[in-house]
Every structure is written in C-alpha cells, then in structure tokens.
Amino acid sequence: MDKANETGTPKKPPAKDANYVQSRLLMDVDIIERQLVDITNVVVERAVPIVVGRVKAEREPSRLLSINDAAVRLGRTPNAVRRMISRGQIRGSRPPGGSKWGIEERELERFIKQGRGGTQ
C-alpha cells in the first residue's frame, strides 16, 4: 500500500512549489495574451477593409434616378414605385430645392439586393 496510508485513503500528492505554480500561471497567461493578439489581428485584417469600403460608399455621391428610371430597373410601373415609396418599402428623396421625387441609385441597389426588386 504505497499510495495509501494505513486507513486506506489515498495519499495526497506532494504540494507543488508556489513558485512553480506561479510560473506556470504566468506562462499560461502569456500564451492566452498571444492568442488574443493573434485573434485581434485577424479580426482587424478582415474587418477594416469592409468598414472602409462602406464608409467610402456612403461618402460617394449617389445618382438620383427618376421614378421612371427606377420603375424600368425594377420592372414596375412608375405608379407602383410611388406606392412603394409611400409605403416605406423603398426610400425616395428630392434634391434640395427640387420638386420631383427620385430614388438614389444606391438605395435602389440595396432594395434589389434584398430580393425585393424585379417583376412580380
């Protein structure tokens, strides 16, 4: 019975030196920190181009399409497009000082990408 005392209960393994335990914990923390840095770098490498592209796209002026032009692209009638604007399905806008409604090209592309454009 070399691993148990006289009562049959197992002996506890010898306590590890506190300095050893502390050094192992520090090594583990160091490994975790390096992994976090690696993960952060990957996220930044992938996210920055996406964010920069979106910011550039938002800053670039979008061409304002007439209701008729938008209707042709959507395969709908101009009145159907006007109804879509009034229902809030697609965002219409007017140029500053203008009286005619139109749809920004970027908004129309967004609408089509959502699968809501085209003939029905």
* Region 25-49 average pLDDT: 92
> 29's torsion region: left (phi>0), alpha (psi -120 to 50) or beta?
alpha
Give residue 37's Cα distance to chain centre.
20
Q: Evaluate if residue 4 carries a pLDDT over 90.
A: no
pLDDT tens string 60-117 = 666 889 999 999 999 999 999 999 999 999 999 887 787 888 999 989 998 998 876 6
Angle between helices 67-74 and 78-86 (to 10 degrees): 100
**pLDDT at residue 99, as a whole number:** 80
Q: What are phi and psi of 63, to 5 degrees?
A: -75, 135
